């Protein structure tokens, strides 16, 4: 009987210690939680005075996956095992990202997602600063969407600190650089350890007196679709208000959903991985004349439950553009690097302002 009570006391003590640790982590996360305003004016680093005078413009979007999700790795949150990618691979991926982006130095607008500033998962490599060094002719603004002091999962190898977000680069001077907080989030306490989704809006004066509105977006993942719908409604109202003013609008980024009418199973392999059941944007999301611009023949995202294997890995297109009716699409092409450096691939676009 004494042995029974001793074991019971030990179990209660262990349970108490675990509860105190978990409670302490949640309390710390609550006290340090990133709570940005709904609209937050961001600093433009390296303010460019170059005026936007051409009607023909080029764009590049790319979720660089914090340079931790190259072809060699899987990811624990998607069913894989890897949590923190080895430092040598992160550095290799970042070198590859910079080399690829170096081919687009003359692009007018470069919109990137998942750029780490100070994160354990990327071994505290300041990718934002590295991109600034690469694009010395450009100014940039960033929108933080992931700022957590300590992520305790998985308990065997915690992700730790993450600070990451959107980075938008251009050689042109912008008159507005606003971070818009998307409405909605996961329930507490899960919300403490996930992204605070946002989009970054920049305003560029055009020679005819109108403005070009360029938006860098990274919509929610891992939700049942309800968060995405709220986010899309919120963005739509802003887009239509700007278009009614006569402005030109280009939205680009990682939407974490497919464009209206896109065949999500286009790249599914027989005998390959199970497809990701992606939500599709409604056909009537925007009025007639708005264009969804993407390359249907080049996948932009791959499943990360396993390392990349072209013969079996499921791939799809969730990175693309939305342009207003007064913007003419000339070209859109995926940048196929076989997912060497990220679980996403870049998309290049050329347009003309009508």
pLDDT at 37: 84
Residues 6+ apart with CB under 8 A from 283: 260, 261
Report the 10 Å Cβ neighbour count for 65.
26
Answer yes or no: are the C-beta atoms of 294 and 61 closer than 8 Å. Answer: no
pLDDT at 14: 67
Phi/psi-derived region of residue 287, left when phi > 0, alpha when psi is between -120 and 50, beta in every other case? beta
- Domain boundaries defined on the chain: 1-30, 39-353
Residues 6+ apart with CB under 8 A from 90: 66, 67, 68, 122, 123, 125
pLDDT at 49: 73
pLDDT at 27: 67
* DSSP 8-state assignment for residue 259: P
pLDDT at 28: 61
Instruction: Report H helices in the chain.
Output: 2-31, 87-102, 127-134, 226-244
pLDDT at 25: 66
* DSSP 8-state assignment for residue 175: S
pLDDT at 35: 84
Q: Please, what are the averages of pLDDT over each run of 10 residues along the chain (354 residues)?
A: 72 70 68 82 85 95 98 95 97 98 97 98 97 93 96 92 98 96 83 88 96 98 91 98 98 98 95 93 97 98 97 98 98 98 98 96
Answer yes or no: are the C-beta atoms of 259 and 294 closer than 8 Å. Answer: yes
CATH of 39-353, one of 3.90.245.10, 3.60.10.10, 3.10.580.10, 3.30.420.480: 3.60.10.10
pLDDT at 179: 98
User: What is each CA distance from 284 to 252, 287, 292, 327, 328, in whole angstroms?
Assistant: 19, 7, 12, 19, 20
- Strand order of the sheet with strand 346-353? 139-151, 160-170, 109-116, 56-63, 346-353, 327-335
* Backbone angles phi and psi of 148, in degrees to 5: -125, 130
Whole-model pTM: value is: 0.94
d(C-alpha 67, C-alpha 253), whole Å: 17
pLDDT at 29: 63
């Amino acid at each position: 009987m004494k042995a029974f009570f001793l074991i019971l006391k030990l179990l209660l003590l262990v349970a108490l210690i675990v509860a105190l640790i978990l409670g302490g982590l949640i309390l710390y996360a609550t006290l340090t939680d990133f709570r940005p305003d709904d609209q937050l004016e961001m600093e433009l680093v390296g303010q460019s005075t170059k005026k936007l005078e051409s009607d023909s413009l080029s764009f590049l979007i790319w979720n660089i996956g914090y340079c931790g999700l190259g072809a060699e790795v899987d990811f624990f949150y998607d069913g894989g095992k890897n949590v923190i990618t080895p430092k040598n691979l992160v550095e290799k991926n970042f070198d590859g990202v910079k080399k690829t982006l170096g081919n687009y130095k003359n692009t007018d607008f470069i919109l990137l997602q998942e750029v780490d500033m100070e994160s354990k998962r990327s071994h505290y490599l300041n990718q934002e600063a590295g991109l600034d060094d690469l694009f010395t002719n450009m100014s940039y603004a960033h929108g933080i969407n992931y700022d957590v002091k300590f992520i305790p999962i998985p308990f065997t190898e915690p992700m730790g600190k993450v600070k990451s977000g959107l980075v938008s680069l251009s050689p042109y001077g912008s008159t507005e650089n606003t971070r818009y907080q998307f409405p909605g989030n996961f329930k507490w306490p899960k919300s403490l350890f996930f992204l605070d989704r946002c989009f970054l809006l920049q305003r560029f004066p055009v020679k005819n007196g109108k403005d070009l509105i360029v938006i860098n977006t990274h919509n929610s993942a891992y939700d049942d679709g309800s968060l995405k719908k709220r986010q899309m409604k919120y963005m739509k109202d802003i887009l239509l208000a700007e278009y009614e003013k006569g402005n030109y609008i280009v939205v680009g980024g990682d939407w974490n959903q497919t464009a209206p009418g896109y065949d999500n199973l286009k790249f599914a392999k027989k005998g390959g991985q199970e497809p990701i059941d992606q939500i599709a944007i409604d056909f009537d999301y925007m009025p007639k004349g708005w264009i969804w611009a993407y390359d249907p023949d080049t996948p932009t995202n791959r499943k990360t439950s396993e390392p990349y294997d072209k013969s079996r890995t499921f791939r799809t297109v969730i990175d693309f553009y939305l342009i207003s009716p007064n913007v003419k699409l000339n070209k859109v092409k995926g940048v196929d690097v076989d997912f060497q450096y990220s679980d996403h691939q870049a998309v290049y676009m050329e347009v003309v302002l009508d």
